[in-house]
């Protein structure tokens, strides 16, 4: 994103952080590719001594007119031909033979795309690591903080907030791992007109390896002009990051609802979360903007998937369709990751409110546990039906599940026959006694996170 774009109406929202994929970034990445190619050609004996240094010295984005290159792109379908002419005019005559030699426009743009992706991934991974560390802290400190589990947006069995955070953590860590794997596959593109490098003669096949070495990218087995799996895998990894971040943001918006109020975003500025119409509002702005970024990822991924089919040796239009969607996906993923760091590290957890909301259900979230107590004596289905009837009565009459069970003749008889007392029922609806393997799952998530951090 350019400086002007970052300062625009929406730039600070959807372009937050250090991921930069604006016009000038693209231009510099293309120039970096051209400069590296000239150095690779020199090392391969295909350009004169000093040509690489001369081209590299001239390959500075600030020396070129981005707008004019854009206007010239309308003549050729992409900005590379105009860039090559301008770059050639900027270097000594002896070095001009090294500018763009053996390359085609797609080689330059695809490699530039890989450079932009690598730089963006480094930024995104840094923010994800910070967010994951914050989430790990929540999982650790709230391992015993009981709250209502919710399925289909209704209270289910109890969980702990630590387990919720552990779920966030494992998703973040999985997304980080996939992004790291994707980064290792970012490769140079260099195949010339139709993927044969015929214009470079017998020495041509050595140039891709030298180019990859110059840029710190992988060397592919062969040019990938019409094999777009690399782009699709990158897009899928970015969409995966957005899915993990969007999950956190969505949970925060739900748990921060006025009637639930179990968590709240930090408020470093009294104006944060305000409304233009309602002075009392405290909206979860960080989560909302994260979702504003991540909700766009599936559509961008779909566009890139649709553009992955390239005909014959070079595509007519599908290649062109990739540039802006991938730029947008890198920018939005970077913004979502950047927003997520203060979101999770500043999150305020109201443990008392969590327990109060759970207690307000009168033991209903523990209905499964109560049915399990009855099942050995009356059978699983009968126990389920008895508890279901009692639960409906509890809701209708505003009483607790134990009270409703004892007031039901059939259930009361079953309880007496099985020797289950009121004290046993009260114990059965105590959330602390029905958390299952939550603590172990949190331990595993934290251990896996520690191993990942140690491996990176």
Choosing from 4, 199, 205, 275, the catalytic residue is 275
25 band by pLDDT with thresholds 50, 70 and 90: very high
Paired tokens of 95:
């070095």
| In contact, 116 and 328? CB cutoff 8 Å | no
Q: Which of 321, 295, 299 is nearest to 310 (CA)?
A: 321
Could you give the C-alpha distances from 268 to 14, 80, 402, in angstroms and in order? 20, 46, 45
Choosing from 314, 353, 393, 443, the catalytic residue is 314
- Per-residue pLDDT averaged across 56-61, rounded? 96
Structural domain spans, the chain: 3-15+104-355, 363-428
| In contact, 188 and 111? CB cutoff 8 Å | yes
- Per-residue pLDDT averaged across 245-266, rounded? 96
Q: What is the pLDDT of residues 319-349, one digit of tens each?
A: 999 999 999 999 999 999 999 999 999 999 9
454 band by pLDDT with thresholds 50, 70 and 90: confident
Buried-state track 176-187, b at ≥16 Cβ within 10 A, e below 16: bebbeebbeebb
- If you search the block for the tokens 């020495």, which residue do you land on? 203
Q: What is the pLDDT of residues 121-170, one digit of tens each?
A: 999 999 999 999 999 999 999 999 999 999 999 998 999 999 999 999 99
Task: Tell me if the pTM is above 0.85.
Answer: yes
- Determine the pLDDT at residue 163: 98
- Per-residue pLDDT averaged across 34-55, rounded? 96
Residues 6+ apart with CB under 8 A from 97: 47, 48, 51
pLDDT tops 70 at residue 366: yes
pLDDT tops 50 at residue 278: no
Written in H, E and C, the secondary structure of the chain is CCHHHHCCCCHHHHCCCCCCCCHHHHHHHHHHHHHHHHHHHHHCCCCCCCHHHHHHHHCCHHHCCHHHHHHHHHHHCCCHHHHHHHHHHCCCHHHHHHCCCCCCHHHHHHHHHHHHHHHHHHHHHHHHHHHHHHHHHHHHHCCCCEEEEEECCEEEEEEEHHHHHHHHHHHHHHHHHHHHHHHHCCECCCCCCCCCCHHHHHHHHHHHHHHHHHHCCECCCCCCCCECHHHHHHHHHHHHHHHHHHHHHHHHHHHCCCCCCCEECCCCCCCCCCCCCCCCCCCCHHHHHHHHHHCCHHHHHHHHHHCCECCCCCCCCCCHHHHHHHHHHHHHHHHHHHHHHHHHHCCEECHHHHHHHHHCCCCHHHHHHHHHHHHHHHCHHHHHHHHHHHHHHHHHHCCCHHHHHHHCHHHHHHHHHHCCCHHHHHHHCCHHHCCCCHHHHHHHHHHHHHHHHHHC
- Determine the pLDDT at residue 410: 85
Q: Which of 206, 219, 250 is nearest to 102 (CA)?
A: 206
The angle at the Cα of 241, spanning 236 to 247, to the nearest 5 degrees, equals 120
pLDDT cut 90: percent of the chain above it: 76
- Determine the pLDDT at residue 1: 47
Beta strands 263-264 and 154-160, pairing class? unpaired
Helical pair 380-397 and 409-418, crossing angle rounded to 10 deg: 130
275 catalytic? Reply is yes
Task: Give the chain's mean pLDDT.
Answer: 92
272 catalytic? Reply is no
CATH class (in words) of the domain with range 3-15+104-355: mainly alpha
């Amino acid at each position: 994103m350019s400086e002007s774009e970052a300062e625009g109406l929406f730039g600070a929202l959807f372009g937050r952080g250090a991921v930069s994929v604006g016009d000038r970034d693209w231009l510099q990445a293309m120039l970096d590719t051209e400069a590296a190619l000239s150095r690779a050609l020199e090392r391969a004996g295909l350009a004169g001594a000093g040509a690489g240094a001369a081209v590299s010295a001239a390959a500075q984005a600030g020396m070129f007119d981005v707008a004019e290159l854009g206007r010239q792109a309308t003549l050729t379908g992409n900005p590379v031909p105009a860039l090559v002419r301008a770059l050639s005019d900027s270097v000594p005559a002896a070095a001009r033979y090294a500018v763009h030699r053996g390359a085609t426009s797609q080689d330059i743009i695809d490699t530039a795309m890989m450079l932009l992706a690598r730089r963006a991934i480094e930024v995104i991974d840094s923010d994800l690591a910070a967010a994951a560390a914050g989430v790990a802290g929540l999982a650790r400190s709230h391992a015993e903080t009981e709250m209502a589990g919710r399925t289909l947006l209704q209270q289910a069995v109890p969980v702990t907030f630590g387990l919720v955070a552990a779920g966030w953590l494992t998703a973040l860590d999985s997304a980080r791992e996939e992004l790291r794997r994707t980064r290792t596959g970012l490769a140079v593109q260099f195949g010339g007109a139709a993927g044969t490098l015929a214009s470079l003669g017998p020495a041509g096949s050595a140039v891709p390896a030298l180019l990859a070495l110059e840029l710190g990218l992988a060397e592919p087995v062969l040019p990938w002009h019409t094999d777009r799996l690399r782009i699709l895998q990158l897009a899928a990894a970015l969409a995966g990051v957005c899915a993990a971040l969007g999950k956190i943001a969505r949970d925060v918006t739900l748990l921060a609802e006025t009637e639930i109020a179990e968590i709240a975003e930090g408020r470093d500025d009294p104006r944060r979360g305000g409304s233009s119409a309602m002075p009392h509002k405290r909206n979860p702005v960080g989560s909302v903007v994260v979702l504003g970024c991540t909700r766009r990822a599936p559509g961008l991924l779909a566009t890139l998937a649709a553009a992955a089919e390239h005909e014959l040796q070079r595509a007519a239009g599908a290649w062109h369709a990739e540039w802006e969607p991938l730029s947008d996906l890198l920018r939005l993923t970077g913004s979502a990751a950047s927003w997520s760091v203060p979101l999770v590290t500043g999150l305020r957890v109201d443990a008392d409110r969590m327990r109060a909301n759970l207690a307000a259900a009168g033991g209903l979230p523990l209905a499964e546990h109560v049915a399990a107590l009855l099942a050995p004596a009356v059978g699983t289905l009968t126990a389920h039906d008895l508890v279901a009837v009692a639960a409906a009565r509890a809701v209708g009459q505003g009483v607790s599940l134990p009270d409703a069970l004892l007031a039901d003749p059939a259930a009361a008889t079953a309880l007496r026959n099985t020797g289950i007392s009121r004290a046993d029922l009260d114990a059965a609806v105590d959330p602390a006694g029905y958390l299952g393997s939550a603590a172990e799952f949190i331990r595993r998530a934290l251990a896996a996170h520690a191993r990942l951090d140690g491996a990176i």
